Amino acid sequence: MSSASLLSRLQPGRPLFWALFLVVLVPDWFSKRWAETALLPRHVPHEVIGEYLRFTLSYNQGAAFGMHVGESSRWFFAVLAIAIIGLMLWATRDLTRESTPAAIGLPLVLGGAVGNLLDRLREAAAVVDFIDVGVGTTRFWTFNVADSGITVGAICLVLAMWVGERPASASATSEQSAA
């Protein structure tokens, strides 16, 4: 399959785009519902791979890394998520037509954003987090499948932008040194 053919299949609205979107959204939804029933009580670690990987049920009323804006966090971040989803679709429309990493990254980010948005709309306690990694008392922030999709997708988008800019900046440098 040519890269042009793959890119056309990864565009918003196409089946492969929705498949990648669902690869994040569906496992996120079911793993969060599982965590809410299997990992009670809250904040009690359940070791999966020793102390390195644990499942610990928690709820995040804020955004990434525990950021929040007080009592209005739930609705503020829900509206913000909807705005960001729209902005991402608009801002990446050309990039996803030109770059396979961007075309893969966008549905992963959107799947994660929608997964966390659904939690905000469904649950007053906020977004379900349960994946807990670290060593001893040195722990990363507890996260979920949606957060992983957002992270991997964002890395793909950044790489696409970086690679897309490199040839232009390299040619500009060579033009400047030739002058």
Cα distance between residue 114 and residue 122, in whole Å: 12
Closest CA to 152 of 30, 20, 46, 63: 20
Rounded to whole angstroms, the Cα distance separating 160 from 171 reads: 18
146 with 129: CB under 8 angstroms?
no
Is 129 marked active-site?
Answer: yes
Whether 28 is a known active-site residue: answer: no
Q: Which of 28, 119, 129, 132 is catalytic?
A: 129
State the catalytic residue, choosing from 28, 119, 132, 147. 147
Catalytic positions:
129, 147
